[in-house]
Structure 1
Amino acid sequence: MGAEVSSTSYSREQRQRYREKVHQDLDVFERMLTQSSFEFDRPLTGMEIELNLVDDKLDPTFTNAAVLDSIADPDYQTELGQYNIELNVDPRPLPGTAALDLEKDLRTSLNRANQRAEEAGAHIVAIGILPTLMPDHFSTEWMSANARYAALNEAIFAARGEDLWIDFEGPTGERLATYADSIAPESACTSVQLHLQVQPLEFADHWNAAQAISSIQLALGANSPFFFGRQLWHESRIELFLQATDTRSVELKNQGVRPRVWFGERWITSIFDLFEENVRYFPSLLPETSDEDPVALLEAGKAPELSELRLHNGTVYRWNRPIYDIVGGRPHLRVENRVLPAGPTIIDCMANSAFYYGVIKMLASSDRPVWTRMSFAAAEENFRQCAQRGIDSRVYWPGYGEVRADELTVRRLLPMAYEGLAEWGVASEVAERYLGVIEGRCRAGVNGATWQIEAVRRFEEKGQDRPTALHSMLERYLEGMHSNEPVHTWELP
């Protein structure tokens, strides 16, 4: 959800003070990287799953406050839209059979949460973009009651000075072109976020590796082909999130000003590169200042919160975000991977995470890293192509040239993932269970997006119009989601 804020508007003096504090925090952070002890007793992973709420007709229901009251579990929190909630998973180690325990715990938690949600008149859906969401659903109060969301909405539109223009076209020619007078379209983008705690000296290698592999994550895990009734990109979240939070006017885009949703523009040598870019390139959206004196705390041997720097970092939406945090008085660093959509099932989410953690382990420790043999522009183009075309995408990869993403996965990346999980100490039965799902997707050429698209096509062939077909598809999708069988094994209508 992000850090809380106390206001929805700020004075010029507050903005100036915030800038000064952010620069001070950045200077202190630079000192910490050279002289502080960061927590890294064992590698920990974490997960966040954003979810949608629908009513009995499978339309979005704007009742997350009542649903959360019914669930009564602090692991579940609000998200931007009143039809969204988020499940936060406690950090866990990777080795052994921890992933099997996590899968069981997630299913138990979500089953209980869904039962409680149904008591409040709602059903939980794990999907990248809710396909039954339509523009009319935002004609009434849609935003969760949280000052941070209201402040972000106000700040983005104050920076733009005009309504948002959402405009993109899918590979089949269907196009969405519409104005939005709030950041409501952003709420449609629900994801799974993967966290990996790393040592400061190894952060750059892990971030670079995450950037390089993010395109393949999209190709294999795409699950967001429909928005506002249109069939768009296989992972429409990527372009929708960029456009729905864009603080730039057309003129600023033409000047080359960077968007808040950002792939980046270069490989890095330190985590400091990313925080420094945030401060140099991006104006504040939520200029909340604390009373902390980070210099005094550091000189007293304590870890400062650096709340201004962290808050600012939370409003720059990198697909792989650097995280500085403090637990038990000790600082640590994480790579937050924000690429994947939610769903379709818990086993699919676990498979996506196992693939990511396995591959990133090997890429980050390679003697000849992939990012030394591939331009950053090529990685970004891979990312865009895989968002558009999903599992049918072609990518550039060193040693293979242009290759299908599923072929590259089977021939090169899956063996790497098995090796990486073994390096982490993950039990062989865990690797076989989850990486077997990835291989099955590649062999079948089916992921969440392709299943949704084909199901809707078949319903339309039977005479249903698009809205009806989307509801029919979502009904079948819910059956598959609750089965916890991998999406590539689901039957089509």
Structure 2
Amino acid sequence: MGKDVAATSYTREQRQRYREKVRQDLDVFERMLHTHSFDFERQLTGMEIELNLVGEDLHPTMSNASVLASIADEDYQTELGQYNIELNVSPRPLPGDSALQLEKDLRESLNRAEKQANSAGAQIAMIGILPTLMPEHFTTEWMSANARYAALNEAIFSARGEDIFIDIEGGGGDRLAMFADSIAPESACTSVQLHLQVQPHRFADHWNAAQALSAVQLAIGANSPYFFGKELWHESRVPLFEQATDTRAVELKNQGVRPRVWFGERWITSIFDLFEENVRYFPSLLPESTDEDPVAVFEAGEAPQLAELRLHNGTVYRWNRPIYDIVEGKPHLRVENRVLPAGPTIIDGMANSAFYYGVVRTLADSDRPVWTRMSFAAAEENFYSCARRGIDAKVYWPGSGEVQADELTLRHLLPMADEGLRSWGVATEVRDRYLGVIEARCRTGQNGASWQIDCVNALEAKGKDRASALVEMLRIYLENMHIGEPVHTWELPR
């Protein structure tokens, strides 16, 4: 959800003070990277899962407040839309068979949450974009009652000075072209965020590796083909999130001003590169300052909160975001991978995360890193090609040239994932279970997005219109989601 704020509008004096504090925080952060200890006893991973809420009619229900009150579990929190909630998974070590226990814990947690949501008149849908979400659902009160969301909405539109134009053309002939007078469309984008703790001197290797892999993550994990009744990209979250939070007027785009949701523009040599870019390129959206003197705290041998720098960093939406955090007085760094959509099932999500952690470990430890053999522009082109075409996409990969994403995964990346998980000390049964799901998904050519598209096409071929086909598809999807078998095994309606 991000850090809470107290206000929804700010004075010029507040903005000036915030700018000064952010720059001071950045200076202290640079000193910390050179002199401060970021040691941790165990390298931990974490996960956040964003979820949708639907009613009996399978349309979004704006009831997260009552659902969260019914669930009554601090692991579940509010999200931007009143039809969204978020599950925060406690950080855990990766080695051994801990992933199997995590899968069990997630299933039990979501089962409990589903039961409580049902008592509040809702169902939980774990899917990248809710296919039954339509423009009319945003004509009434849709935003969660949280000052941060109201402040973000106000800041984005103040910066633009006009409504947001969303224009996405799908591969099947559908096109969405509309104006939005709020950031409501952003709430449609529900994701899984994977966290990995890293040491400062290894951060660049892990971030570069995550950037190189992100395209293939999209290809094999796509699960968001529909928005407002249109068949768009296989992972429509990518263009939708980029456009729905765009603070730039057309003239600024034409000048080459960077968007706040972006892939980036270069490989890095230090985490400092990313924080420095964020400060240099992006004006503040939520300029709230604290009384902390980060220099004094640092020189006293303690870890400063750097609250302004962290708040600013939270309003620049990189697909792989750098994180500075304090836990029990100790600072640490994380790569936050924000590429994957939610769903379709728990085991699919676990498989996606195992694949990510394994491949990133191998790429980061490589003697001849992939980012030294591939331009950043090629990695970015891969990213958008895979977002658009999903499991049918082609990518460029050093040593393979242009290759199908599923073929690259089967031939090269799955062995890397196995090697990386082995290096982590992950048990054989864990590697076999989750990487086997990725292998089967690639061999069948069926992921969440392709199944959704094929299911809707089959229902329309039987005479249903698009709206009713989407409702029926979601009904079948939810049945399969609760059964819990991976998406490559799902059958289509006959």
Residue aligning to 1:299:
299
Q: Deviations over 1:375-423 (max 9, x none)?
A: 0000000000000000000000000000000000000000010010000
Rounded Cα–Cα distance in structure 2 between residues aligned with 1:41 and 1:423:
17
Alignment correspondent of 2:420: 420
Superposition pairs for residues 405-444 of structure 1, below 5 Å? Answer: 405-444=405-444
CA apart distance, 1:172: 1.5
Report the Cα offset of residue 491 of structure 1. 1.1
The residue aligned with 2:472 is: 472
Match of 2:252 in 1: 252
**CA distance in structure 1 between the aligned counterparts of 2:40 and 2:434, rounded to whole angstroms:** 26
- Distance in 2 (CA, whole Å) between partners of 1:490 and 1:203 is 38
Structure 2 counterpart of 1:124: 124
Alignment-mate amino acid for residue 449 of structure 2: A
- TM-score for both structures, normalised by structure 1: 1.00
Superposed counterparts of 1:367-386, under 5 Å: 367-386=367-386
* Alignment partner of 1:487 is 2:487: yes
SS of 2:340 mapped into structure 1: strand
Q: What's 1:194 paired with?
A: 194
Maintained 8 Å contact 1:48/1:89: yes
Shift of 1:306: 0.1
What CA distance in whole angstroms lies between the structure 1 residues aligned with 2:2 and 2:317? 12
- Aligned position for 1:159: 159
* Alpha-carbon distance in 1 for matches of 2:184, 2:328: 36
Alpha-carbon distance in structure 2 between the residues aligned to 1:42 and 1:330: 13
8 Å CA contact retained: 1:362, 1:420: yes
Matched letter for residue 169 of structure 1: E
**Residue matched to 1:325:** 325
Does the CA-based 8 Å contact 1:278-1:316 persist in structure 2? yes
Q: Letter of the 2:201 partner, please give it.
A: L
Amino acid at match of 1:323: I
SS in structure 1 opposite 2:338? strand
**Structure 2: how far apart are the matches of 1:40 and 1:473?**
46
Contact 1:23 1:279 in 2 (8 A): yes
Q: Does 1:346 align with 2:346?
A: yes
Letter in 1 for 2:320: N
Q: How does 1:28-47 map to 2 (within 5 A)?
A: 28-47=28-47
Tell me the equivalent position of 2:241: 241
1:310, 1:39 → 2: CA distance? 20
| 1:146 match | 146
Alignment of 1:5-404 (within 5 A): 5-404=5-404
- Find the aligned partners of 2:246 and 2:426 in 1 and give their Cα distance: 40
Task: Give, in angstroms, the shift of residue 41 of structure 1.
Answer: 2.0
Assess if the C-alpha contact under 8 Å between 1:40 and 1:198 holds in 2: no
Deviation of residue 39 (structure 1)?
Answer: 3.1
Give the % identical residues: 78
Q: How far apart in 1 are the matches of 2:423 and 2:319?
A: 25
SS in 1 for 2:456: helix
Q: Which amino acid aligns with 2:103?
A: E
SS at match of 1:464: coil
Check the 8 A contact 1:156/1:247 in 2, yes or no. Answer: yes
Unpaired runs of 5+ residues, structure 1, are none
C-alpha offsets along residues 276-335 of structure 1, whole Å, 9 cap, x if unaligned?
000000000000000000000000011000000000000000000000000010100000
CA distance, structure 2, for counterparts of residue 299 and residue 246 of structure 1: 39
Counterparts of 1:416 and 1:237 in 2: how far apart (Å)? 27
Amino acid in structure 1 at the alignment position of 2:15:
R
Letter in 1 for 2:332: H
Deviation at 1:171, TM superposition (A): 1.1
Find the residue that maps to 2:195 and give its secondary structure: strand
Structure 1 residue 173 displacement after superposition: 1.7
2:463 is equivalent to residue 463 of structure 1:
yes
Q: Distance in 2 between matches of 1:117 and 1:123?
A: 6
Superposed displacement of residue 129, structure 1: 0.1
> Which string of whole-angstrom CA distances, capped at 9 and with x for unpartnered residues, describes residues 211-239 of structure 1?
00000000000000000000000000000
1:345-373 C-alpha deviation (Å, 9 max, x unpaired):
00000000000000000000000000000
Q: Equivalents in 2 of 1:397, 1:171: separation in Å?
A: 24
Contact 1:414 1:439 in 2 (8 A): yes
Q: Does the CA contact (< 8 Å) of 1:396 and 1:403 recur in 2?
A: yes
Q: Verify the 8 A CA contact 1:49 1:87 in the aligned structure 2.
A: yes
Deviation string for 1:423-468 (max 9, x for gaps)? 0000000000000000000000000000000000000000000000
SS in 1 for 2:374: coil
1:16 is matched by which residue type in structure 2? Q
* 2:311 partner SS: helix
The separation in 1 between residues aligned to 2:33 and 2:124, in whole angstroms, is: 42
Structure 1 Cα separation of the partners of residues 98 and 474 of structure 2:
32
- Report the alpha carbon displacement of residue 40 of structure 1 after superposing the two structures with TM: 2.5
Question: What is the letter of the counterpart of residue 19 of structure 2?
Answer: R
CA-based RMSD: 0.4
**Partner AA of 1:19 in structure 2:** R
